[in-house]
Chain A
């Protein structure tokens, strides 16, 4: 009897399933392989048992009903991943491994719960779009080829307690998304840990840790997030504020980075109440000039307006030059009220408020730069008054 049962199971597992529509409650367990798409229809629940190993070859699992998976592995060859289409919070994927897919989990709307997952070696680990809500918590995004976690399209999904490690391009990318919480995440070894890009991308990024990334956080193309209470430690560049971006950078500990904070191309962040410690260069301006912005900024951005074809490289939704114009351009970047470390503070006391600190690179160090054959003055940083004491309680 035992022998007979074993033979049946082996045959079942070895046979690849064909096209499958699941329209009644179904349980998957053991090893299964599919070479065509599997669709879970509205009203049906697919439960994947702990220990199950599910493999797709040139196919995907598409869920319009409900998926409950715990402790399973999803993998395959040339496979597209899991697609959750409008699934609610009763869809719950926890403690699973999803690897090798085009997009490990693609969430189109809905509010699924994604917990303690490992997303590895996918092109994109998880993509959230279509005003998705729900939660991504305590997940690991490891060595995904493009993006670990891509949050788009007015999605409000909470992202908490996740680790983003060694993703080739971006650990996480926030594009027109406002996660209702983005905190307690750890980014390490990524090309860019966290990218926040484009006008209308104004999330709050609080209480995260960024360590040993090439760039810890990049804010680009007129995004205006709040970056608060984060630890940025040992990155090549801590914060890269680029192309007319005006974030608020407050209460962060920025320590032992190559460049703590790099500001470029007409960006005017608000930099206050941060601790800058032992960075090779604490704060640096690059191609940053109010004169350039006044003279050329609008023209340089004109090619990106929504009237242009997508084929001309425009990627913004109904953004106008008024939306992107700098509110204050007087040749300075405001960095008053920060703590520059014990050594920095000692230097500041020595050189006075009008001195040129060695840990800041601005127009006092490099008077001009050249763009399109024209010379433009590099802006200056206002660093005084400064704080005499540390301002954060963050620890490495």
Chain B
């Protein structure tokens, strides 16, 4: 939901309990990891419980710029953090050519929807990736050019196909080679 020119917003919701955040990305994007300079706010009254038929007027959100230092630290500690358990390999197209600027994602849920639990940094020109995991376990692995949002024409997308359900079982402390992960352009 976008605010209007005065910063007001209205969200129609089913009854339930919600956690509200407000974000404005400097690049105008709708999803993805926040970058230094983006504006971010957690609503101070979280969680917010809405009952059926109720209209709530909330206090203001206080937006603050994402600080570069804090951002770098969170990146190092967050889903990009280096750990002892990892999957690595190479993202390639159907002609086996390396594909750059592709994220590799790990999900706990076989449907591979919502937020991944881990993700790689984007691949470079060599297509190589390292996906650091917080622990051993069963993960479902996918790759795409964008972080979140619906798939758009021109994006690369693919899955780990060593198993039919894209599953990888990795032991704690292991460094497993997934080989090549083939992506295709979606048009």
A interface residues, Cβ below 8 angstroms from B: 64, 78, 85-86, 108-109, 124, 129-131, 146-147, 150, 152, 169, 173, 175, 195, 197-198, 306, 308-317
Q: Which of B26, B27, B113 gathers most chain A CB within 10 Å?
A: B27
B150 engages A306 (CB within 8 Å): yes
Chain B residue nearest to A132 in the complex (CB): B28
Across the interface, name the chain B residue whose C-beta is closest to A173: B153
Q: B113, A147: Cβ atoms under 8 Å?
A: no
Do A313 and B151 touch (CB < 8 A)? yes
Interface contact B159-A85, CB-CB below 8 Å: no
B140 CB to closest chain A CB, in angstroms?
9
Residues of B within 8 A of A313 (CB): 151, 157, 186
**Chain A contacts of B186 at CB under 8 A?**
313, 315
CB-contacts of B62-78 with A (<8 A): none
Chain B residues with CB under 8 A of A169: 187
B9-29, CB under 8 A of A: which get 1 and which 0? 000000000000000001111
Residue of B with least CB distance to A147: B154
Docked CA distance A309–B111 (Å): 7
List the B side residues contacting A306 at CB < 8 Å. Answer: 150
**Residue B28 contacts which of A86, A197, A309, A310 (CB distance < 8 angstroms)?**
A86
| B31–chain A nearest beta-carbon distance, Å | 11
Chain B interface, >50% SS class = loop
| B56 CB within 8 Å of chain A | no
B118 is an interface residue with CB less than 8 A from chain A: no
Q: Could you tell me the distance between the alpha carbons of A78 and B28 in the complex, rounded to whole angstroms?
A: 25
Q: In whole Å, how far is B146's beta carbon from the nearest beta carbon of chain A?
A: 8
Q: Cβ of B144 < 8 Å from any Cβ of A?
A: yes
Is B98 an interface residue when CB atoms closer than 8 A count as contact? no
* Residue numbers in B under 8 Å from A310 (CB-CB): 142, 144, 149-151, 157
The CA of A309 and the CA of B143, in the complex, are separated in Å by: 12
Whether the Cβ atoms of B153 and A108 lie closer than 8 Å is no
* CB within 8 Å: A-B pair count: 65
Q: With a CB–CB cut-off of 8 A, which chain A residues contact B144?
A: 310-311
User: Which of B27, B112, B153, B186 has the largest number of chain A CB atoms within 10 A?
Assistant: B153
CA distance A86 to B113 in the complex (A): 31
Min CB–CB distance A266 → chain B (angstroms): 19
Q: Which of A78, A109, A124, A315 lies at the interface centre, i.e. has the most chain B CB atoms within 10 A of its CB? A: A315
Q: Which residue of B lies closest to A306 (CB)?
A: B150
- Contact: A311 with B154, CB < 8 Å? no
Q: Name the B residues within 8 Å of A86 (CB-CB).
A: 26, 28
Q: Is the CB of A311 within 8 A of B26?
A: no
B166 adjacent to A64 (CB under 8 Å): no
B29 to chain A, nearest CB (A): 7
A108–B29 CB distance below 8 A: yes
**In whole angstroms, what is the CA distance A198 to B186 when docked?**
12
A311 touches B153 (CB 8 A): no
A150 touches B157 (CB 8 A): no
Say yes or no: A85 contacts B150, CB within 8 Å: no
Contact (Cβ within 8 A) A85 B27? yes
Q: 12 new A-B pairs (CB below 8 Å) besides A78-B125, A309-B111? A: A124-B154, A150-B153, A150-B154, A169-B187, A173-B153, A173-B154, A197-B153, A198-B153, A306-B150, A310-B157, A311-B144, A314-B150
Smallest beta-carbon distance B148→chain A, Å: 9
CB-based closest 6 A-B pairs? A130-B28, A109-B28, A315-B151, A311-B142, A310-B151, A309-B112
Residue among B27, B28, B112, B152 making CB contact with A311, cutoff 8 Å = B112
B61 to chain A, nearest CB (A): 21
* Chain B residue contacts of A108, Cβ below 8 A: 27-29
Q: List 12 A-B contacts (CB under 8 A).
A: A108-B27, A124-B154, A130-B29, A175-B152, A195-B187, A197-B153, A308-B113, A310-B144, A313-B157, A314-B150, A315-B150, A316-B150
Give Cα distance in the complex from A18 to B105, angstroms.
Answer: 33
Task: Report the nearest A residue to B2, measured CB to CB.
Answer: A131
Neighbouring B residues of A312 by C-beta, 8 Å: 112
Residue of A109, A130, A173, A314 near B151 (CB, 8 A) is A314
- A316, B149: Cα distance in complex, Å: 10
Q: Tell me if A146 and B28 are in contact (CB < 8 A).
A: no
List the B side residues contacting A317 at CB < 8 Å: 150
User: Are A309 and B26 within 8 A (Cβ)?
Assistant: no
Closest to B166 in A: A311
- Cα(A152)–Cα(B14), bound, Å: 30
Q: Which residues of B contact A124 (CB under 8 A)?
A: 154
Once bound together, how far apart are the Cα atoms of A166 and B31, in whole Å?
Answer: 34
Tell whether, in the assembled complex, residue B142 and residue A85 are in contact, meaning their CB atoms are under 8 Å apart.
no
Give A396 to B26 CA distance when docked, in angstroms.
Answer: 47
Question: For the complex, what is the distance from the CA of A291 to the CA of B138, rounded to whole Å?
Answer: 44
CA distance A310 to B150 in the complex (A): 6
Q: Mark B75-114, 1 if CB is under 8 A from A, else 0.
A: 0000000000000000000000000000000000001110
The residue in chain A whose Cβ has the minimal distance to the Cβ of B146 is A310
Nearest-neighbour CB distance to chain B for A357, whole angstroms, equals 34
Residues of chain B with a CB closer than 8 A to A315's CB: 150-153, 186
Which residues of A sit under 8 angstroms from B125, Cβ to Cβ?
78
Closest to A304 in B: B151
Contacts of A309 in B (CB 8 A): 111-113, 142
Could you say which residues of chain B place their CB within 8 Å of the CB of A64? Answer: 26
A64 CA / B35 CA spacing, docked (Å):
15
B154 touches A85 (CB 8 A): no
